[in-house]
Amino acid sequence: MIPAHFLAIGIGFFLDRLIGDPPNWPHPVRWIGLFISKMTGKLNKGRFRTLKGAILLAVTVMLVFIIVTAMVLLSYQLNLFLGIAVEAVLIAIGLAQKSLRVAALEVYQPLTESNLEEARTKCSYIVGRDTEKLSEREISRATIETVSENTADGVTSPLFWAFLFGATGLWIYKAINTLDSMIGYKDERYKSFGKFSARADDVFNFIPARLTGLFIICFTPNRSGLSIGERMKNWLRDARLHASPNSGYLEAATAWQLGIQLGGESTYRGVPSKRAVIGLKNTALNRQHIQWAIADMYRVTFIFWILFTMIGVLLNVIT
């Protein structure tokens, strides 16, 4: 017998893939973000900012835990099928397959029409770097890096925690990931206050990021012309060059599978930032690689879901 929350994960997974987030619907991430924003304004000042940031992390996670757990337990107590439905919806809105695909294609489409201005504008919606002067190659690189990184952040990491702890696990991860995206910076304003949130996000992404990178290497089309042994060795080497302890495992895998180079110089609010160049300069990076990165994201997330479902069902049968 398949555990109920595994059925909910499967339904939620395909709901997100087929429907995504309907526009203008209220989204829990926005509510979490609003709470974080208000609390940051009150706490991120004066002394003991590191401690205050840790308190915000703990309070946010505890609130999410209580709310989601109450919703799931109550719905299952009322009716098994209602419980599966409620948990499935909570899981679906915590994933980002379709929204990530749509956002990347909105950058890709104007590139096919040589409309760089529109592509730069659409790219600015999904990346933090300055996009006003980016070339087609640089727009493509920024989009591919975002798709690659968010394959874990937006899909496989929340799935991983959903498999372990159901919708509650997924939404605890989403709360931590939202905290990191809002206050996990190393600038003067947030380096102390967001320290614990950034570390928590690193910890929660540690296993899913490495598994996802491995799946990219093993299960997506090899466009580099190198053997799997060569790609694996270069992937592990380049992943450690990245500033992020987790994103490097995703971007390096994507770069070596596509036979392209990622990383290099970008500008953030007018300030240049140089990251290590990773991957293979085999072919010129262009808009076609955006489509391939999207296809790889869909392939890897499906394999991630089906493998963890099989493992979960097998463990349930054994025990």
Tens-digit pLDDT profile for residues 171-208 = 999 999 999 999 987 777 888 998 999 999 999 999 99
The C-alpha atoms of residue 149 and residue 166 are separated, in whole angstroms, by: 23
Amino acid letter for position 47: R
Q: What is the pLDDT of residue 1?
A: 55
Q: Is pLDDT above 60 for 57? A: yes
What are residue 271's DSSP bridge partners?
268
Q: Residue 240 in contact with residue 230, Cβ under 8 Å?
A: no
Question: pLDDT > 70: what percent of the chain?
Answer: 99
Q: Residue 255's closest CA among 233, 280, 234, 283?
A: 280
Average pLDDT, the chain: 92
For 235, the token pair is 């992937």
pTM of the model: 0.94
Query: Quick check: 216 and 296 in contact, CB under 8 A?
Result: yes
pLDDT at 10 over 90: yes
The whole-number pLDDT of residue 205 equals 97
- Answer left, alpha or beta for residue 279, where phi above 0 means left and psi between -120 and 50 means alpha: left
Q: Where are the domains of the chain?
A: 4-318
- Residue 18 is which amino acid? L
pLDDT of residue 267: 81
